[in-house]
Structure 1
Amino acid sequence: MSGTGLAGRGVVVTGAASGIGKAAATALAREGAKVLVADLRQEGAEAVVEAVRAEGGTACAVVGDLSDQKVVDEVVTTAVDTFGSLDVLVNNAGIMDRLSAVADTEDAEWERVLRINLTAPFLLTRAALPHMLAAGRGSIVFTASEAGLRGSAAGAAYTASKHGVVGLVKNLAVMYRDKGVRTNAIAPGGTVTGIQVDAVPGAHGPAAVGAYAANIGRVSTAEEQAAAILFLASDAASNVNGVVLPVDNGWAAV
């Protein structure tokens, strides 16, 4: 272990059955953190727990929809009861939209994307904060997106949700910086994950966004994103607060 200060700490990672969440849960466990894997998919969540335990780590899983307050409460209660503390929260779970422009965005698409990408992490952060504040320490890391930094990376719903995440990160950082709780985010660029984009062929939104696709640059691995999450969660970033860190091979600089 590399002196990240994560050994023995209780950690929750959402969307941890695959992709960036899985890589983050694995990386944190290798640093000695005790990891709760939260995801909608039971089989994937249990597989990550088994993999962590096979390497000698500590992990458990809670399966359910994190936009449901009952599931949120179960995640926090399980982490605290099982690990003795909740020191790190990684709000990673999220879904893509259909790259729809505003004129083509249906209510269901808008509400589902905002509920999962913005409201769910708000609910979980609100539930976790009392435990962090009581301990006088905590680190919260969100997975934002390049779509939280620009208007050309996704559709209207996803872009709005990730801009909301960026605002929430900055507000949390200011509100709780004197209480020992840090809040930061990564902003991934193109990344190899299992997220599928169900774009409508020939629609205006996908065509407009596609015009900027050449700016993405090299697509990253989930492990590269997880390395940034690990840094922000760790004591190595003890004075890093309110940062939205692009992990995008320079896309944000274009």
Structure 2
Amino acid sequence: MTVVVAGSDGGIGRACVAAVEAAGGTAFGVDLAGGIDITAPGGAEQAIARASAAHGTISGVVHAVGMSGRSLGDGGITACGDEAWNEVHRVNHASVFRLLRAAIPAMAEGGSIVVIGSALGTSLDDDFRTVAYASSKGALIPLIRAAAREVAPRGVRVNLISAGLVATPMSRRAQTDLAIQARLPELMPLGADLCAPEDIAAAVLWLLSPAARRTTGAVIPVDGGWHLR
């Protein structure tokens, strides 16, 4: 199996390729110098076309692109402006549609598509009141289910991972806010700590593997129990 990496951040892409190779796998990047932005019109089609041309039939696709709109003014209904709403939905929701539309025709029978969502898409919290972000992630559920139903006759699976707070740069506010830190046992009762990126990666690998061959259209929580509240 060969891992094809595409993204608008060349540094992250090259680090991903290096990590796969360090683990003994085979990987290459698609235009990591110039970057391919799948959130822009034509970007998803370009990424899939380049991957198909270099590697042939595609057996798995992972959408792991997202943003927080807090810096743009995302907040409650009356606080969120048009810029935050439009940009967050463009990146978090429309890009999934575009990648699904581009990838589905190129998928091998029995292939798997995995999308990274958020626990905020189904379970809100006052300390994370960002209506654009939450609605963009919640809107992924009917989208992946529609895709899963459409491609099921070909044996292709489409699933969504509902991620909790993950220790990445995007969650820096939660990692440094003492009030939120004190609430972690309530927010994520399965251990008073954030999820690790490796926790999400393990779920992705399972959904891509034959072990999940009978799972499609599912929302898989990897959130430390956030959804139990």
**TM range, normalised to the smaller chain?**
0.7 to 0.9
User: Does residue 49 of structure 1 match 2:17?
Assistant: yes
Q: Equivalences for 1:179-190 in 2 at 5 Å?
A: 179-190=154-165
Match of 1:80 in 2: 52
Match of residue 122, structure 2, among 145, 149, 153: 149
Give the Å deviation of 1:177.
1.5
Match of 1:31 in 2: none
Distance 1:210 1:221, change over 3 A: closer
In 2: Cα distance, 1:131 partner to 1:150 partner: 34
**One-letter code of the match for 1:61?**
G
Match of 2:109 in 1: 136
Match of 1:225 in 2: 200
Q: Answer yes or no: is the 8 Å Cα contact 2:165–2:171 preserved in 1.
A: no
Match of 1:174 in 2: 149
Bigger Cα displacement from structure 2, 165-174 vs 210-219: 210-219
User: Does residue 40 of structure 1 match 2:8?
Assistant: yes
Match of residue 63, structure 2, among 87, 91, 111: 91
Give the Å deviation of 1:120.
0.7
| Aligned CA-pair RMSD | 2.4
SS of alignment partner, residue 78 of structure 1: helix
SS of alignment partner, residue 53 of structure 2: helix
In 2: Cα distance, 1:137 partner to 1:248 partner: 27
Distance 1:154 1:246, change over 3 A: farther
Give the Å deviation of 1:110.
0.6
Give the Å deviation of 1:69.
2.7
Q: Answer yes or no: is the 8 Å Cα contact 1:96–1:113 preserved in 2.
A: yes
Distance 1:198 1:247, change over 3 A: closer
Percent identity, aligned pairs only, is 33
**One-letter code of the match for 1:128?**
A
What whole-Å deviation, never above 9, does each CA across 1:166-214 have from its counterpart, x for those lacking one? 1111111222212211111111111101215789xxxxxxx9x999764
Match of residue 106, structure 1, among 81, 84, 106: 81
In 2: Cα distance, 1:210 partner to 1:194 partner: 16
Unaligned stretches of 5+ in structure 2? Answer: none
In 1: Cα distance, 2:173 partner to 2:43 partner: 27
SS of alignment partner, residue 170 of structure 2: coil
Match of 1:235 in 2: 210
- Tell me the number of residue pairs that the alignment of Structure 1 and Structure 2 aligns: 212
Give the Å deviation of 1:251.
1.4
Unaligned stretches of 5+ in structure 1? Answer: 1-7, 9-33, 200-206
Give the Å deviation of 1:47.
2.5
**One-letter code of the match for 2:39?**
S
In 2: Cα distance, 1:119 partner to 1:38 partner: 17
Give the Å deviation of 1:57.
2.1
Match of residue 41, structure 2, among 44, 69, 88: 69
Distance 1:197 1:64, change over 3 A: farther
In 2: Cα distance, 1:246 partner to 1:48 partner: 24
Give the Å deviation of 1:158.
0.5
Q: Answer yes or no: is the 8 Å Cα contact 1:117–1:161 preserved in 2.
A: yes
What whole-Å deviation, never above 9, does each CA across 1:26-67 have from its counterpart, x for those lacking one? xxxxxxxx1121222112212222332344322122322211
Greater relative contact order structure (CA < 8 Å, 6+ sep): 1
